[in-house]
Structure 1
């Protein structure tokens, strides 16, 4: 990472601010707590370099509780990623809707893998100022719903596709079309993403697509096989704050709450 200060004060769109800076700030906050779950010090370094009113953002994102949601979601996906890359050291990694996530630094800090992070051009412009390309790491400025970017990702080896915090913002038709494009392009690999329950989608005007269960995805695209689904609440015992840990334990005991946010793993 570079060390110069970066001006993000021009960000005004509430949805963009949340998806870009809200999750980054929560990962940074969590990394500074005793016994962190994810411990994303790259996020903390990024926040220290960004010129933005994080005090105002903190009042909105409520890091006292939401930091654990973000950290647990990312930790499960990181664990699945690491396991896949151990089995397939020559794999290509494709992260969709990457935002300001530092997963490539957490898992491949020297840029030794074919790793592609994709997001819309405005986000990639900001991202380049935080995380410069290195080694075999590349960024693609494009919308996931566009057609032109996919041939830029080589299809000559297993591929690990990660879509954290992305699919709920798309429509069902957009998700379905994207999934078919991916499995048509790549012969074998894994797809990792998180999904929200229908009631959770209805509660937030920014979200558009819910996941009822993993088999819903198999019906959308028979090339995908459900290999794992882990509710965020399943790892509540990792939370160091006892009151929040108890809340997660109670949520895990109630099916509707347990399935509110789930990490999914599919093979193809």
Structure 2
């Protein structure tokens, strides 16, 4: 059983993994990521130290389900494509989505994270792991070009320095003929309120890059267009929750700063 002792942004991947394992254990799972449950049972880490508590699994499950849905939409329209899953952590998205034979899928994360992935998850056709910081320009040279690209970045952008994140997006736009970025981002107010984010606080991580709307993102590179911007409180799935949780979400939607604090973006180029 591998011992996992991570701090900072790396530690937040354990919160995501544990949250999805809790969802898989629940009577009515929203994502039903059984591979996350298997992974948690194989790893030696302090689940209590992640900051995830009962009921928190909803956030992780709905976020994963929403981005899985956008991923499937893109691949349905582009059966021959390249997927770059940036800051993949211990996410089993490639297995949940199960892309077809025309898709080349690359999971990118720090070397110690990729080493853990290799111990937990099996190989599959068309799938490759890249051990690198996502902001290091060198790793992208190992990815073939020519096909449309889907860039998936879940729980990543807010941990990047803005200059590094914008440079990363530009490199990808310059390298591929066309494609999409799908990711979640925090507003600048969300960045300022990071001390009340118990997951971030428990990990000892720091949030850096705040995004306040499509114009912030479209300025990164010529031809980059914001196709969707959906608040985290407005995605599908909340109607499947209990009455108490639904009431909390309805109340939060009445506060504009909360409604736009975390947003899912889909950019096209």
Same fold (TM over 0.5): yes
Whole-angstrom distance in 1 between the partners of 2:54 and 2:94: 24
CA offset digits 1:62-108 (Å, max 9, x no partner): 241x2122122111111110011001111111100000011001001
Q: Displacement of 1:53 after TM fit? A: 2.9
Unaligned runs of 5+ in 1: 1-5
Would the alpha carbon gap of residues 111 and 119 (structure 1) be closer, same or farther in structure 2, given more than 3 Å must change? farther
| 127, 130, 134: which one aligns with 1:137 | 127
Most deviating of 30-39 and 118-127: 30-39
Larger RCO: Structure 1 or Structure 2 (Cα < 8 Å, ≥ 6 residues apart)? 2
- Which position in structure 2 is the counterpart of 1:3? none
Residue 214 of structure 1: how far off its partner (Å): 1.8
Q: Which contiguous aligned blocks of 4+ residues in structure 1 show a shift greater than 4 angstroms?
A: 109-112
- Runs of 5+ in structure 2 lacking a partner? 196-205
Matched with 2:252 is 251
Q: Deviations over 1:16-40 (max 9, x none)?
A: 22x2211000011112223222121
Counterpart in the other structure of 1:229: 229
1:50 aligned residue: 43
Paired residue for 2:169, among 165, 176, 179? 179
Match of 1:209 in 2: 209
Matches within 5 A, 1:1-268: 6-9=1-4, 11-17=5-11, 19-54=12-47, 56-57=48-49, 60-64=51-55, 66-108=56-98, 113-204=103-194, 206-234=206-234, 235=236, 237-268=238-269
Preserved CA contact (<8 Å) 1:236 1:249: no
Distance in 2 (CA, whole Å) between partners of 1:35 and 1:109 is 26
Shift of 1:14: 4.8
**C-alpha contact 2:80 2:102 (8 A) present in aligned 1:** no
**Could you tell me whether the CA contact under 8 Å between 2:79 and 2:100 is conserved in 1?**
no
Aligned-partner Cα distance in 1 for 2:80–2:99: 16
Alignment partner of 1:77: what SS?
helix
Distance 1:155 1:101, change over 3 A: same
- Alpha-carbon deviation of 1:232? 1.3
The SS at the match of 2:226 is strand
SS at match of 2:138: coil
User: Alignment length, in residue pairs?
Assistant: 258
Tell me the alpha carbon deviations over residues 115-158 of structure 1, each in whole angstroms, 9 at most, x when there is no partner: 00000111111111111332111000011111111021111111
SS, match of residue 51 in structure 1: coil
8 A Cα contact 1:236 1:245, kept in partner: no
**Cα drift, residue 196 of structure 1:** 0.5
